[in-house]
Amino acid sequence: MRGDTVKPVKGDLLLSEPFLADPNFERSVILLCEHNSNGSFGFVLNKEADLQLSDAIDEVQNYHQALYVGGPVQHETLHFLHRIDPPFNDSEPIVNDVFWGGNFDELLSLINTRQIAANDVKFFAGYSGWGPGQLEDELEEKTWIVYHQPTAYQLFDIPAHQLWQEILRNMGGKYRMFSNYPIDPRLN
What digits encode the pLDDT tens for the residues 67-106? 999 999 999 899 999 999 888 889 999 998 999 999 999 9
Cβ neighbour number for residue 98 with a 10 Å cutoff: 24
For residue 1, the model assigns a pLDDT of: 40
For residue 86, the model assigns a pLDDT of: 82
Give the residue ranges of the chain where pLDDT is below 50. 1, 4
For residue 117, the model assigns a pLDDT of: 87
CA angle 78, 94, 169 (to 5 degrees): 95
For the chain, domains (ranges, CATH) are 13-187 (3.40.1740.10)
